[in-house]
Amino acid sequence: MSTHDRHAWIEALVAEYERPLTRYALHMLGDVERARDVVQDVFVKCLAQEPAKLELNLRAWLYTVCRNRVLDILRKESRMRTSDQAGLLALQGKEPAPEQGVQHKEAMGRALSQLATLPERQQEVLRLKFQDGLSYKEISAVTSHSVSYVGVLLHEAMKTLRTRLAPLGPEA
């Protein structure tokens, strides 16, 4: 692969994966700047890889490298931080239509507050599945859990959230 092609390949990866990887790292680190540093490290590691070797499992590889780098940082600091929800919402992008804005923000706030009460493993698989669109197999590769355990974690998390949010209804 020529230098020009490699440069174009990395630019395309950054364009597609920078925001979702930053959001994923942000949840685990609770700091936008540190999350951005982690994602930058991911792309630097990507430069050292042969694109053809990554082609089949690229997305899972990127998330695995991101997760491992975050875990290294957390181990080094010997502490966990909670998610910076305001930073997370800012990374998610567009605001809802004006007529739905307040209701949407309230519903998102309720859902995020309930999500934060779930065990870390359930939170992580939910975010990988629904925010980042990873398959069970890709989540399994990223988290080192079996595909069936990923399914169990997702099922339990959804069941818990449904139970907790149902009594609140759309107006609560």
Q: Is the pLDDT of residue 126 over 50?
A: yes
Task: Please tell me whether residue 47 adopts helix, strand or coil conformation.
Answer: helix
Q: How far apart are CA 54 and CA 56, in angstroms?
A: 6
Q: Which two tokens stand for residue 65?
A: 């490298």
In this prediction, residue 32 has a pLDDT band, given cuts at 50, 70 and 90, of very high
Q: How far apart are CA 97 and CA 74, in angstroms?
A: 38
Task: State residue 59's pLDDT score.
Answer: 92
pTM of the entire predicted model = 0.62
Q: Indicate where the chain has its CATH 1.10.1740 domain(s).
A: 1-93
Fold exhibited by the domain 1-93:
Rna Polymerase Sigma Factor; Chain: A (1.10.1740)
164 touches 110 (CB < 8 A) = no
Q: Which CATH number fits domain 94-172: 1.10.10.10, 1.20.1630.10, 1.20.1740.10, 3.20.20.300?
A: 1.10.10.10
**Which is more confidently placed, 101 or 133?**
133
Angle at 121 between CA 23 and CA 13, to 5 degrees: 30
